[in-house]
Chain A
Amino acid sequence: MQTTASSRSKRLAITPYLYLLPAFVVILTFQVLPIFYSLFVSFFEWDIIRARRFVGLGNYLDLFRDVEFWQALFNTTVFAAGSVVFGLAISLFIAVLLSRKIAGLNCYRLAYFIPYVTAMTAVAIVWKWLFNPQFGLLNYLLSLVGLPGTRWLQDPFWARVAVIIFVIWKTMGFNILIFLTRLLDIDKTFYEAAEIDGAGPWRLFRYITWPLLGPTTLFLLIISTIFSFQMFVPVYIMTPDGGPANSCSTMVFFLYENAYVDFRMGYACSIAYVLFFIILALTLIQRKALGRKLSGL
């Protein structure tokens, strides 16, 4: 009798895990295993068709001697810095405006949020048209206000600017939403007290809003940095050849080309790992540097 009972309870104990199994198998197969498998592959030379050849750290050493890698890293850093700094600044500005009680607030909020929920590929194609030097809307609008247009995606400098503008436009809605939520959460008596203490609009922002937003800004800074270091789709759609003078080739773009154009799988995996450590390091640095400042909140 006892054995039956215990085997039954054992079976019961297994049941929940059985429910979890399908999801677990999927995650394991498509997420966890590839992580380790790609680390493994990064030590080989492999074109998928022929047998792998172990090269040790060879791929990594090659990478550090590869001009295109440094170019991609530089481009990625430019995109990240541009889109994160300007993106967060603009988002914060708009969020502060939206946190005032203005008419049609919800319409504005929706308008800013829509880009975030649209499909990246689709809107990237649209923006590619907008940036078209001859028929693009952007140059047309510039001409209306008397400004000269530019060869957006054909010029190394403007191509980067174009990509950054697009990324800011695409991600702004999320940043605004997060900023706005926190802004509306700040007790308005802080502002009243500071107003009586002698602060005007700028000092209210400088001494009350900005410090109280600290943790939110740090959070968005980390999230946006991680996101922008993985940038691929915008440049792949708008500048499929890596942009003029390779100015838009990002790390992931470089990885993609190595993996699926040149079939250098080992090399591509080593890029992935270098990128991973760069992002990890950046996140830790940001948290260390800013986290201490914010520890009072």
Chain B
Amino acid sequence: MSTVTLKNVTKVFGDSVVAVDNVSLEVEDGEFMILVGPSGCGKSTTLRIIAGLETATGGDIYIGGRLVNDVLPKDRDIAMVFQNYALYPHMTAYANMAFGLKLRGVQKKEIDERVKEAAEILNIGELLDRKPRELSGGQSQRVAVGRAIVRKPKVFLFDEPLSNLDLKLRVQMRAEFSKIHNKLGATMIYVTHDQTEAMTMGDRIAVMREGGIRQLADPGALYQSPANRFVAQFIGIPPMNMIDGVIAEEGGALLFKGDSCRVTVPDGKGDLLRPFLEKKVTMGVRPEDVSVSEGKGMAEAVVDVVQPLGPQKFLYLKMGDCEYTARVPVETKARVNDTVAIVFDMEKVHFFDDATDRAIV
């Protein structure tokens, strides 16, 4: 168990491909840290730098307080699970799991104990004699995790380990990962592009984009107070509604004037918004903070699509050229082509500065 610290880590491929751009990150001992972001944002590269499979162009990497820039992967006391599992095709599941211990000169008896123990945790006892080609995707995935567990490393690194599994298995494995994490209490760094995975599993989440970390926070904070427009739109399904507009003043009260709506800014947010008077801002509203009614609201919209989803419904609304999503209780009566009044929960809306994309409030 151990901390992992990145200090101003940069990786440039060739002359100009900046895969990781000045990333600093502190992963605490025993923490489940998630790196999430769209494809190509540098998640895997960051993880591979921690593993020692890539050499950083600049910056320092510490594992357990030790500078490991020049330490070989095998001496970093880490284990990694690859997206394609990378199980050695010529070895049985048992041999795959035992391999790292064998290379480290662990006694046969202890290897056997550790493999059996890991097999028990992962429920793969009957698969130990099989070769990788005789395993299903989910089984291979477990064996790959087992190969990491038996080593009892300080730090576990996972690179999209669930992305090759079908949805049901993925959901099930998420829970298992959390269980394994609780059981082992080890530091884990987990890369994914799937924000649901990130939100459900992580202690903290680093949202990456174009090689940099855009926000580092726990799942709740990430959802409730996104630091910028990118994080706001990346986290949450369906994504946050974004409404362009300007801040104006009328009779001493601050107003947000959007294309198709005018809303009064609540007092609590006024102070922070005042400097942006007459400036372009974007108002962000989560779908669950949009409610519809038949009476009078802040704006009127036409229902475009209705998606019932268990206890709730998603309404896709059209207001002029703009489209909004609302998450409403399943009892809501709106039907396609109805005109409804919409109300935003102004206490919960976000404002972003168009000039910098940063959250204002």
Contact = CB atoms under 8 A, between A and B. Distances in A.
B73 A190 contact: no
A207 interface: yes
A194 B73 CA distance: 10
Main secondary structure of the interface of A (DSSP, over half): helix
A198 to B, nearest CB: 4
Nearest to A211: B90
B142 to A, nearest CB: 16
B53 interface: yes
Given A197-B100, A198-B103, A297 B90 contact: yes
A187 interface: yes
Given A194-B99, A195-B74, A199-B74, A189 B86 contact: yes
B62 interface: no
Interface residues of A, number: 20
Nearest to B53: A192
Contacts of B104: 198
Contacts of B147: 193, 197
A194 B53 contact: no
B248 interface: no
Given A190-B86, A296-B131, A196 B103 contact: no
Given A212-B89, A212-B90, A296-B90, A197 B84 contact: no
User: Chain B contact residues: over half helix, strand or loop, or mixed?
Assistant: loop
B53 A195 contact: yes
A207 B78 CA distance: 20
Interface in B72-110: 72-74, 78-80, 82, 84, 86, 88-90, 99-100, 103-104
Interface residues of B, number: 22
A48 B73 CA distance: 73
Contacts of B72: 195
Nearest to A297: B90
Contact of A195 (B73, B84, B88, B90): B73
Contacts of B131: 296
A203 interface: yes
A212 to B, nearest CB: 6
B189 interface: no
A195 B78 CA distance: 11
Contacts of B254: none
B51 interface: yes
Interface in B272-326: none
Nearest to A208: B88
Given A193-B88, A197-B147, 12 more contacts: A187-B84, A190-B86, A190-B89, A192-B53, A193-B82, A193-B86, A196-B73, A196-B100, A197-B99, A214-B90, A296-B90, A297-B90
Chain A to chain B: the 9 pairs with minimum beta-carbon distance, closest first: A197-B100, A189-B86, A198-B103, A193-B86, A198-B74, A211-B90, A196-B73, A195-B73, A189-B82
Interface of A: 187, 189-190, 192-200, 203, 207-208, 211-212, 214, 296-297
28 contacts: A189-B84, A190-B86, A192-B53, A192-B73, A192-B80, A192-B82, A192-B86, A193-B80, A193-B147, A194-B99, A195-B53, A195-B73, A195-B74, A196-B51, A196-B53, A196-B73, A196-B74, A196-B79, A196-B80, A197-B147, A197-B151, A198-B103, A198-B104, A200-B74, A212-B90, A296-B90, A296-B131, A297-B89
